[in-house]
Amino acid sequence: MNAVEEDIRKGTYRRVYLLCGEEDYLKDYYANALQKALIPTGDTINLNRYSGKEADTAVLISQSETLPFFSDHRLIMVRDSGMFRRGGDALAEYCRNIPETTVFLFVESDIDKRSRLFKAVRTCGTVLELNHQKADALTGWIVRRLQRENKQIQRGAVQLLLERAGDDMYILSNELNKLIAFTGEREGITREDVDRVCIEQLESKVFKMIEAAASGDKEKAFSMYRDLVFLREPPLRILAVISAHFRRLLLVRDLRDQGYDRQSIENRTGMQSFVLRGLVGQAEYFDAAAIRSILSQCASADEMIKTGRMNDQTAVEMVLVRICLRKKNASV
């Protein structure tokens, strides 16, 4: 149980909370939980919301000093203020003087842990950093989510769902809603259900495209690329995903060459197990020099696209050709 859950359970609250990190689903979940616990449904008088540049320090302090109306608390919810990078010094000083009837709740995407405001919230309140969850935690969450709908899901179906949808919990939640609707009164959810209903994210499609290119099936790789372009995926975005994929692949290749096993690599890199499984298998096709050469080709393609020296679709095709011509002189 984290600090926010414990406060809600006890009914005792800190004067200021910061929800940060990369997992938007969890930030929204805990923000909504705090709001529900502090402010009765329909009470708009004691709930003040601000976002971005609306979050003026003087206004926030003025609202904080206003007593709640027929309520124990006033909740001031601030989203993506930018104050945890710059401009939050006055509010940092004020953190020590927030009235007992006021609760500040910051939900931020971009923070600097060296900022005065971050340090003040950490000292005077609660900081909850919410990042993408590991595969085991996501599996448990998926199972519990479906159990509330009287559904059960096969282990293989969970694995395929994670491979297709990734670890973004909003995407996973949407896919689970689709599976629940698709299966109707049927209790069990199978791998076949996931295959029929759940949409592959771009990263999963690019992985399969690279797998085809690396295994020598040039025709399949280019067909998959043309499908992505037909579906209006921008070639520059596809190139960015290819580059990110090969940066991870280089890290895995280097660690494998140093003698680390899969579990050790997962512990050192923090990669998801279902992602690492595919990367370890794909590393069989490339040695480190080949991966660096492909990354260099990606950088050149990016430059040529952005300077207008080559059409974006053609530039990515050249990268695919380079992958097809990889050096296969390493084994994992």
CATH of domain 135-197: 1.10.8.60
Single-letter amino acid code for the residue at 205: K
What confidence tens digit (pLDDT) does each residue in 78-126 have? Answer: 999 999 998 899 999 999 999 999 999 999 999 999 999 999 999 999 9
- CA neighbor of 16 nearest in space, from 87, 120, 90: 120
Alpha helices in the chain (DSSP H): 3-10, 24-38, 57-64, 89-94, 116-124, 135-147, 155-165, 169-183, 191-197, 202-214, 218-230, 235-257, 262-269, 273-282, 288-306, 312-324
pTM of the model as a whole? 0.78
Residues of the chain with CATH 1.10.8.60: 135-197
Residue 165 has pLDDT above 50, yes or no: yes
d(CA 154, CA 179): 13
SS3 call for 232: coil
Task: Report the C-alpha dihedral over residues 176, 180, 182, 185, rounded to 10 degrees.
Answer: 160
Considering the chain, what is the average pLDDT of its residues? Answer: 92
CATH 3.40.50.300 maps onto the chain at: 3-129
- Distance (Å, whole) CA 71 – CA 104: 16
Assigned token pair, 187: 């209790």
CATH domain 202-324 topology: Zinc Finger, Delta Prime; domain 3 (1.20.272)
What is each CA distance from 289 to 93, 160, 329, in whole angstroms? 53, 32, 10
Contact 57, 91 (CB under 8 A): yes
Helices (H), 102-234: 116-124, 135-147, 155-165, 169-183, 191-197, 202-214, 218-230
Pick from 314, 244, 306, 235: nearest CA to 279: 244
Closest CA to 238 of 296, 289, 325, 314: 314
Helix (H) or strand (E) holding 49: strand 47-51
Is beta strand 126-129 parallel, antiparallel or unpaired with respect to 152-153?
unpaired
Tokens matching residue 272: 């998801």
Give CA–CA dist 122/103, Å, rounded.
14
Number of CB atoms found within 10 A of residue 312's CB:
20
Exposed, middle or buried, 295 (CB in 10 Å: 0-12/13-18/19+)? middle
pLDDT tens per residue across span 253-273? 999 999 999 889 988 988 888
- CATH dotted code for 3-129: 3.40.50.300
Q: How much is the pLDDT for 332?
A: 36
pLDDT for the residue numbered 87: 87
Provide the pLDDT for residue 60.
94
Where in the chain is CATH 1.20.272.10?
A: 202-324
